[in-house]
A and B are shown apart, each in its own frame.
Chain A
């Protein structure tokens, strides 16, 4: 990468990193308020020409402004009584002109680029008593750094380094110079003499100086935040870029949870930040991509384009986004050509090729409870003892036959360039991913992404930015609905055998035990089921900066999502459970979402004495239009896989459609005040007018108050570079579903059926009201530590409340509940080794989040699987309900016949269950459920999905050009309901049934296990604790000094990447993290394991070439 910055204009980015641009802005804004120091190199070389006659000083300065790009700032009192004069200047240095103008007028000037401040000469005199300190600043590779900010501690004096890293500043002995630069650790140097300084900036491994832009009034260093905003930089994301961007967030931020509702390639993942905020409704955060408030999720976005991701977890930070933000915000910034230095170009090619596989499958029994004779199982004759101890004569591997290591292949090409003058930049990329997944015969997902981000400075004050992504993907969904068919296949079936009926592939009815269950491979091989998705994300903004302390922008964003689904089950297929051939069925649907925003921002930045003030006013208009239609039918006219027309169907014709529109007008104001860099105060208010709110409450208010104290600015604490305490309180919201405010009457097949929902003109958004207390510290130059405690009430929960049947309506949407959450989060980052050859960084994240339903203004209710999850006032959100098997004699005391002692009547068997004493060792032995005093099986709490805590550890170890990266995840506690295991038991295939080799006194009969398979019971509540190796990579880089300009290649990076390689857990299913999204609750809450495409592992090799 070239390092020849050519900066011009007030905030034109032209350095070799985006951070240069940010620093440039900071420096300029700082200088506007600072006393004069020196002229910049650029300004010193600028020549001007003009002519004035009988003009005052003001008029002359104005003339210069008109004929040049300079702006003057001065106090009117300074120029009040001056004489008029005539002056003609021809191609003279601006500095010379200013000398002439101000000579003898007790005035002096301060110049920085095109900002010139006229000041009284006495100030200059003050500084003339000082000495000029000069020096150069470079990085640890010896490369000079332009744009480094240098200021004198405790004084309003500062400057920046020039393109060669050179600086000059007036300072006194014992002054402390502070050098700061984005991405580098801030340094303080005490002036002891006036010999030129050489400052070597070290990388800010702990990211203390990192700047965030989400939820704040303007870009703000993290150390000056008064609430939590997390940031993930591209280096961490690019090390193991995930095909689904959501998955690459896992383990990188404390308090984040990602669950794959369907882990199939291309499927969306559920993201939860700092717990759930809604009892009903998604907990997915608002996702902003390059300023676009998106409607879809992350599965269309490729990781390679990402520059950084900011994660806003709490209502305090997210309140800026009002009624869309109670679930938090994920703000993604993609790469831009302006990140490069002026006049440079970079081409990147990355390729990854590997395979995906299932690392673990639940075991099956090796024995049956049916008679085995003649080398075959007689599935019509159960064995007399009902014990699963008759070995299968042959054991096949239906799991291996069903799963198939699938290929994983991505190719990525990017091109970035920045013009010589730094005015025009471009970033373009082309990305193709082909991820087959792990199910045989299926095609998985193919996605092509095309991105163009272009920026251009129309003038020195006006900048146009554009971001564009077009994504097209095809997702094979044939594996989606067949999981239950696979789990229950007999251990001796051959899924690959041909059909005896017609010789076709994959025997449709291989299951002897349950002939209803068809061979999933037959269904996959003889059907179509896919989705074609296109998405366009566009953002177009004009920024105008008339003054250094004033900035306006106008932006338009669009997220357009189109999804077409098609499924076909052709006529004439064999059926597992019938002799007839199928009639065939067909389904087509189309979804379209167009979400648009127009945003106008006015931003003010000014230093007033010791107060640094920032303020922003914003107007945001949102429009979202959604439409859907679908048609389906059965009894197709012709056979074959080429059928595409709905007109083929002659029976069960079904059509449906839906459309919705959302309009919102939002206004907000944010104010941020920093006193002497020590005390930070922030406040905001936002008013949302949203069509989704009831007519009586259409405008709602959200707000934030926060403050922070940088303790180490007031007190020097040995070993601590930074210690900050902060507190904030914020209110954000969630919008009701479209239909919820309306009175609706049902329609079905051309008939008005019956009332559905009572309208509610008072339906408000739900509110997340969060108090956050936090601490940020960096110490020993190697460690940074962050701790948050967040207590929130999620009030006015939007719930569908049943109403009296006499109304004729079924429900009404109401604000009818409150969730209370406690979140503890801690993160520790450490640079354990830092030498010329070795570097080792680790990050340890920890969180503990508990949630309870504290108010429910409707009857409690149960969801999933007939009620395994119960929403009940006073209960944890995530409580598992059902029947419980007694494991102590006290629990069954009310079941003992009169006159008998519980110790005599019941015994605890060798599996820990209470059983009738007289049945032990007989076929009648069976566990006993806890009953209430009326003799009914007691519905009770049988578990909780809420873990004790989560931890993640990432490690980044480099030795010269070799780099080893690992990400480990750990969950302690929390339970998952393993419904799949229950079905495997019912169907006689679970390994738990296998009594082979057990001593006689431990053997249990089929009846024993039959009893255990009753609905929703404690036996299938499993500890979901785990340790996972989520990501692993080993990379080696060949750099320019080795390549020596070969083919113009700057760097080649070779690596091996692994994802989800290892899970250590007692959980018996595919994955303890499995969840299910149902009835409006997402899969991060509902830890229910059934029929989900399992998470799988991927191993691949990568090559990345940078030109």
Chain B
């Protein structure tokens, strides 16, 4: 038994002198890959770009800033909930908060961090393909050109959306050494110029090559050089047109270039199938959360839009009369009114709305695409041919082109869907008729089309409410990190 003591002493001696021989302290994280793993296999690059598309997509139609700017555009209402959104649509308008909110749910943050999140993936892949000369060979097939085209297109639309939303941003490309980057801002015009130049590079690749994507880049979309090229052209037109902050900037835009892009644009609706990982509900945070647009009928069509479609009906009075909590159903000459919207007088919503202000009262919920918005079934109509048509029509009008053709494009929905009197080239309010179609037909396709339209339109009475922000400030977090002063926009005289 006494020998045991030597055994114990031995065990302790081994224990204390051979700590390093115990289990290694290097423990891998199997839950998520790191960048080395991600970029180690060139065959994965198309898949990585697909991931970057999903990041872009989920922030395009996600909660922020859409939840704030859609009601600020007075096309949709939130009805309830804030997350910093209320100052964007409260009357009178006021400076919007730019503080330490949630990086996803806060209006100033969602787009900024969302779009920038995808940019390094694109930059890294461009760097590997362009600067390092790698080729994407999957099986025995070379997919380098399609990968490059997608990378340029993605880089363009990511910076394009940042330019649309923010007054300025950091321009970081595949040629930027982030460790020595000076973090000087680039203004929204210059940033959009860069974005368009990259989309043009994508278009050029599509026009000079023939390819089919090796994978489905976005749900329901396996692109060819032709379909990607068309989408890129339409997108370039959309970005160039919507980048204007004011009517004068709209008039100063290069409409000839917009026309050229749009005329080479999409011929079928660009839609993304709703599936896990790809948000299917516009202004969605989580499925079936209370930030959904139509679930429970909390979010309504803005009374201003209803008034535009039924100007003579007293129940469509705009602004909503103070102290009134209920108005009757509206009769509109536009047959789409009853098709797209549903009357719902339920008291709870009105009750919340009164505490937020009568300016957001409305009884109409959005019924178009209800399967999609209520249940996530189907595809999200993100870029309709109607939008492309109307961009062509607007460009024709603004470039003194064929107004008859423009009227015809307007009538494609105005007459066919709305049963309204046909627009004519001679109409003095042809641009108003065009914007009417934009507000009705594009509602909730791209959630911010209404906001961008009101921001840029030169049609009297269709613009943003006085004091509404015309773009967002760089988020608080980013300014603090680089020791910039905090600033914001909003309120009369401080719109941009």
Contact = CB atoms under 8 A, between A and B. Distances in A.
Contacts of B25: 663-665, 689-691, 698
A939 B87 CA distance: 14
Interface string B177-202: 01001010000000000000000000
Contacts of B482: 804
Interface string A686-719: 0001110001001000000000000000000000
A870 B12 CA distance: 49
A867 interface: yes
Contact of B347 (A379, A689, A810): A379
Contacts of B460: none
Contacts of A691: 25-27
Contact of B23 (A546, A623, A739, A749): A623
A659 B31 contact: yes
Interface stretch (A163-171, A440-448, A752-760): A752-760
B48 interface: yes
B120 interface: yes
Given A810-B117, A986-B352, A1013-B355, A663 B16 contact: no
Contacts of A513: 347-348
Nearest to B58: A753
Nearest to A698: B25
Interface in A457-499: 459, 461-462
A358 B118 CA distance: 52
B101 A862 contact: yes
Contacts of A552: 5, 8-9, 12
A600 B55 contact: no
Given A751-B51, A753-B55, A755-B117, A745 B277 contact: no
Contacts of A804: 170, 183, 478, 481-482
A461 B103 CA distance: 63
- Residue in A516, A657, A661, A1011 whose Cβ sees the most chain B Cβ within 10 Å: A516
Interface string B454-487: 0000000000000000000001111011100000
B100 A751 contact: no
Nearest to B82: A1015
Given A810-B103, A866-B83, A1013-B355, A665 B22 contact: yes
Contacts of B345: 380
A379 B347 CA distance: 8
A1001 interface: no
B12 A516 contact: no
B81 to A, nearest CB: 9
A600 B82 contact: no
A462 B5 CA distance: 10
Interface stretch (B32-40, B139-147, B246-254, B387-395): B32-40
A859 B480 contact: yes
Contacts of A52: none
B343 interface: no
Given A738-B29, A986-B352, A689 B1 contact: no
Given A619-B19, A755-B120, A1011 B4 contact: no
Interface in A488-546: 513-516, 544, 546
A53 interface: no
A658 interface: yes
Nearest to A623: B23
A720 interface: no
Given A751-B50, A805-B116, A939 B83 contact: no
Given A754-B52, A807-B178, A1007-B354, A867 B33 contact: no
A126 interface: no
A744 B34 contact: yes
Contact of A739 (B26, B32, B50, B376): B32
Contact of A752 (B11, B27, B33): B33
A626 to B, nearest CB: 11
Contact of B47 (A698, A748, A751, A1011): A751
Nearest to B486: A859
A459 B1 contact: yes
Nearest to B348: A514
B84 interface: yes
A654 interface: yes
* Interface bracket on A: 35 or more
Contacts of B33: 744-745, 747, 752
B40 to A, nearest CB: 12
Interface residues of B, number: 84
B318 interface: no
B19 A653 contact: no
Interface string B80-109: 001110010000001101011111000000
B112 interface: yes
Contact of B116 (A459, A623, A806): A806
A377 B34 CA distance: 61
Contacts of B9: 552
Contacts of A667: 16, 19
B15 interface: yes
A861 B51 CA distance: 29
Interface in A615-630: 617, 619, 621, 623
Given A513-B347, A619-B19, A749-B277, A808 B116 contact: yes
A549 to B, nearest CB: 13
B83 A802 contact: no
B27 A661 contact: yes
A659 B31 CA distance: 7
A1010 B348 CA distance: 13
A583 to B, nearest CB: 9
B15 A600 contact: yes
Contact of A802 (B35, B37, B103, B277): B103
Nearest to B29: A742
A752 B34 contact: no
A462 B26 CA distance: 37
Contacts of B44: 752
A739 B32 CA distance: 9
- Residue in A619, A658, A660, A750 whose Cβ sees the most chain B Cβ within 10 Å: A619
Contacts of A750: 277
A654 B32 contact: no
Contacts of B287: 652
B170 A751 contact: no
A806 B55 contact: no
A867 B276 contact: no
B466 to A, nearest CB: 15
B19 A689 contact: yes
Contacts of A619: 12, 15-16, 19
A832 interface: no
Contacts of B51: 746, 751-754
B276 A860 contact: no
Contacts of B477: 802, 859
Given A744-B34, A936-B97, 19 more contacts: A513-B347, A544-B8, A600-B11, A602-B12, A658-B31, A663-B25, A664-B25, A665-B25, A744-B29, A745-B35, A754-B52, A806-B170, A808-B120, A810-B113, A810-B117, A866-B84, A866-B101, A934-B95, A1014-B355
7 contacts: A380-B345, A652-B287, A745-B35, A804-B482, A860-B100, A935-B94, A1011-B355
- Nearest 3 CB-CB pairs, A to B? A808-B120, A805-B116, A749-B277
